Homo-oligomer: A and B are copies of this chain.
């Protein structure tokens, strides 16, 4: 295990751009044994083989770590996720370029190691296809999961551009394989021109809940997230955030951007809120294509903060559980 802070004399002196590259400056390990005392394992999944338009997300795990800021309490919630939770950077899954099958197996295995150690895995993509591996590993541990899915697109095609194994088909596969419970599956932020009738009627038949971007516009993000939390209900939940749910103004670095999307203010709150209120047992953040250095890459920066707010939500969730338990005594 490597602790990035060990060379600096006191906490808070390490600049973000110095020292070993880890998410948020947390310790780094490749040894699953180290995860036993941890609450959260950050995992990189640097792949982009299965995209239908612009590639480049293979560079995202490093870029998100580079844009990452050090620990501290969120000024709104007053909660410091890194103080409440023990977060470790578990490194990247051993992916292989141009071999999505082996890469997905590697991701699934690495996520599985984190789950076996009792941590909540939080995976930095990579394109959205990695969610198939992530959820498979989670379902193997927790059984069929609920899914809260922030995205422009439903990713429930049977094929995308004629291809079955694609970042646009994973949700259908996960539902059909029984790994996601469709009645506990909620999509938030849908807009644009895809998919079509076939996919939506497939979704409707299975009881999947779709919350569109025009509903966010008309009802507000609080109402929409409230509905999502109700729809997903009790039980284990996987939280997946496709960065393209943001408007391209806020996340220009992504492969299939769609104007008319969320603001970061909305998404940061929403991601935290879902993690606070639901029983999140795993999460991922996908589809970032890095375009710059450090925090100058605003998409990677947004991605870092979304992950931090998910961690903040996890910390709040645990606090609430503890408070409730104490009240019950």
Residues of chain A at the chain B interface (Cβ within 8 Å): 2, 6-10, 12-21, 28, 30, 44, 46, 48-56, 58-59, 61-63, 66, 69-76, 80, 91-100, 102, 161-163, 165-167, 190-197, 212-214, 217, 247-250, 252, 255-261, 263-265, 268, 289-296, 298, 301-302, 305, 308
A19 touches B91 (CB 8 A): yes
Most buried by B among A62, A194, A213: A62
Known contacts A14-B94, A74-B192, then 11 further A-B pairs from the complex at CB < 8 Å, ordered by chain A residue: A7-B93, A17-B53, A18-B61, A18-B95, A50-B98, A70-B193, A75-B214, A248-B250, A248-B298, A260-B265, A260-B305
Residues of chain B lying within 8 A (CB to CB) of residue A256? 295
Q: Please state the number of chain copies in the assembly.
A: 6
A52 touches B98 (CB 8 A): yes
A292 touches B295 (CB 8 A): no
Residues of chain B lying within 8 A (CB to CB) of residue A19? 91-92, 94
Residues of chain B lying within 8 A (CB to CB) of residue A58? 15, 17-18, 55
A259 touches B249 (CB 8 A): no
A94 touches B250 (CB 8 A): no
The residue on B at minimum CB distance from A96 is B162
- How far apart are the CA atoms of A166 and B102 in the complex, in Å? 14
Known A-B contacts A21-B62, A193-B74; A301 and B98 likewise in contact (beta carbons under 8 Å): no
Known A-B contacts A28-B2, A72-B193, A99-B162; A293 and B294 likewise in contact (beta carbons under 8 Å): no
Known A-B contacts A14-B94, A18-B94; A55 and B53 likewise in contact (beta carbons under 8 Å): no
B162 touches A53 (CB 8 A): no
Residues of chain B lying within 8 A (CB to CB) of residue A305? 192, 258-260
Distance (whole angstroms) from the CB of A299 to the closest CB of chain B: 9
Residues of chain B lying within 8 A (CB to CB) of residue A95? 15, 18
Distance (whole angstroms) from the CB of A243 to the closest CB of chain B: 11
- How far apart are the CA atoms of A296 and B217 in the complex, in Å? 25
Residues of chain B lying within 8 A (CB to CB) of residue A10? 162
Contact of A217 among B13, B161, B265 (CB under 8 A): B265
The residue on B at minimum CB distance from A152 is B75
Residues of chain B lying within 8 A (CB to CB) of residue A62? 17, 21, 66
Most buried by B among A197, A265, A291, A301: A265
- How far apart are the CA atoms of A192 and B70 in the complex, in Å? 11
Residues of chain B lying within 8 A (CB to CB) of residue A93? 7, 18
A72 touches B18 (CB 8 A): no
Q: What are 9 A-B interface contacts by the 8 Å CB criterion?
A: A13-B94, A20-B20, A62-B66, A72-B195, A74-B192, A76-B212, A80-B196, A259-B298, A290-B293
